[in-house]
Structure 1
Amino acid sequence: MIVAGADGCPAGWVLVLWQGPEGPPPQARLVKKLAEVLKWDERPAFLAVDMPIGLPEKAERGGRHCEREARARLGQRQSSVFSTPARAALAAEEFQEACRLNRAHSEPPRGVSKQCFNIFPKIRELAALVTPETQSWLRECHPELAFWAMNGEIPLHLPKKVKSAPAEPGLALRRGLLEKAGFPLTQLRAPAFKRKDVGKDDILDACACTWSAWRMSQGAEIRLPAEPRFNAEGLRMEISA
């Protein structure tokens, strides 16, 4: 069984494929569009993606219930969980228009963060692939929640980035957690990605999502909330790790 984790990166998406602890070394790949994965002969049985799945009709303070639950567990790392906008805001191509649409579809009215707006294209891309049926294997994940799970459900004390630049102590902490959790990071087979295309933290985040995808394949993942809520399209609004 092949599973994979995907993280958005400047060049598209970086994916890590794995067949579990008894399988061959994991492999990293770069794709421009996530839809390319659906054409692979070895399509993953589970694909865990670090991107929101299932947008609400009305945005709430603090985002969806699953995002609020994730933040409650992450301590100092809670800022890594963005508040998902209302589905209507996703149609906006300009930041001010996104804020206007989100204010019209939120209570109390609120705009959209610039960081969240910057990933709108990838949220739209993923939304075009997900249906209630494909959500059986295409799941939303969050790397920091995965690292929290690896760390005995204790928030990490070091960030992976400081002032938008990779922070080596935090990266080293996450590398150690992956290895300790059974993911063979030192055996990862990866092309020589250009730094401008794929960051060090992007690869680690994809590995964390892959670890979560393996847990999904074994029915051992943590799902937040325990009883998922659904959006108007029938999609579960949950985050797994």
Structure 2
Amino acid sequence: MNPDQSHGVALAGVDGCRAGWIALALLPGHTRPQTLIHASFGDLVDELGPGAILAVDMPMGLPDRISGPGRGPEQAIRPHLGARRSSVFAIPARAAVEAPSYHEACNLAQQTSDPPRKVSKQAFFLFGKIREIDRLLQADPGLRDRIFECHPEFAFCRLNGMVALTTRKKIRGVVNPAGMAERTGLLARHGIDPDSLAAPPPRGAAMDDLVDAAVNLVMAKRYVKGLTAPFPAKPARDRYGITIAIHG
């Protein structure tokens, strides 16, 4: 994408959270990013306005069959993450993501994967948000060049010279101060003012959600400058033409 395309439009890094979606967004006419939160992804897209570029920590593009441990993007980035590779959940085929229950999702995932695999609970809990974006991209193909998938741990790895970070964001469900410090320090070196992350996140979001949104904002900035690449390098598309790739 040409950098001129970002002129006058919002750039946003987005992450899912308890309340729905949190974004750290650089809005037209502003020099400091703003924190936004919405229950609906569509409402967030609407608030950001026409032409907005969104880097989102959520799988996009659902193949009809899976070969190996997850979609191509998950398989492509895991080797770069070392001890952080467990943060990359294996997302199953479309039929499983569209299933109404965990039991049915596991059955359909086994039927559409080689070798047969069930679904992790961590992945299953994402399915509602995956479907929310998927419906939007199906309904409006014009959004597909403006809303793209990122993975925060891989984004940090890319910003760190393709060296995975060594500390965890959370330990036993509690924010790890050392992990947060490592990430906010790296974000500061890439243009995210620490003051943007100093205030507590809005109700319904956690600090790690805001930090993930921040690194995705860096990816959105890099995307419009042509500084990101898709993983895998030659991504497939699903039955609706949605690209199956993580950008970093």
Question: Aligning the two structures, in what range does the TM-score lie when normalised by the shorter sequence?
Answer: over 0.9
Q: Distance in 2 between matches of 1:238 and 1:232?
A: 14
Once residues 24 and 57 of structure 1 are traced to their aligned partners in structure 2, the CA distance between those partners, rounded to angstroms, is 43
What TM-score comes out, normalization by structure 1 length? 0.92
Check if 1:210 corresponds to 2:225. no
Shift of 1:42: 3.4
Q: Which runs of 4+ in 1 moved over 4 A?
A: 188-192
Residue aligning to 1:151? 160
Give the equivalent residue in structure 1 for 2:5.
none
Counterpart position of 1:165: 174
1:56 to 41, 51, 63: 63
How far apart are residue 162 of structure 1 and its match? 1.1
Aligned length: 238
Matched, 1:6 2:19: no
More deviation, 32-41/103-112: 32-41
Residue 219 of structure 1: SS of its match in structure 2? coil
Alignment root-mean-square deviation, CA: 1.9
Q: Shift of the alpha carbon at 1:200?
A: 0.7
How far is the alpha carbon of 1:237 from its aligned partner?
0.7
The aligned residue for residue 98 of structure 1 is: 105
Q: Cα offset for 1:188? A: 5.1
Shift of 1:189: 8.5
Shift of 1:153: 1.1
**Structure 2 residue corresponding to 1:18, chosen from 7, 26, 47:** 26
Partner of residue 46, structure 1: 53
Q: Which amino acid aligns with 2:57?
A: D
1:122 CA drift (Å) = 0.4
TM-score normalised by length of structure 2: 0.90
**Residue number in structure 2 paired with 1:184:** 193
Q: Among all aligned residue pairs of Structure 1 and Structure 2, give the percentage whose two residues are the same amino acid.
A: 38
Q: What CA distance in whole angstroms lies between the structure 2 residues aligned with 1:160 and 1:191?
A: 16
Is the 8 Å Cα contact of residues 25 and 189 (structure 1) preserved in structure 2?
no
List alignment gaps of at least 5 residues for structure 2.
1-8
CA distance in 1, matches of 2:162, 2:109: 33
1:72 and 2:70 correspond: no
Structure 1 residues 240 and 222, CA gap change in structure 2 (3 angstroms): same
Superposed CA deviations along residues 17-36 of structure 1, whole A, max 9, x for unmatched, are 0159x951111111001000
Question: Within the alignment, does 1:111 sit opposite 2:118 as a pair?
Answer: yes
Residue 61 of structure 1, CA deviation: 2.1
Instruction: Answer whether contact 1:72 1:78 (CA < 8 A) is retained.
Output: yes
Q: Distance in 1 between matches of 2:51 and 2:196?
A: 20
Verify the 8 A CA contact 2:109 2:118 in the aligned structure 1.
Answer: yes
Amino acid in the other structure paired with 2:193:
P
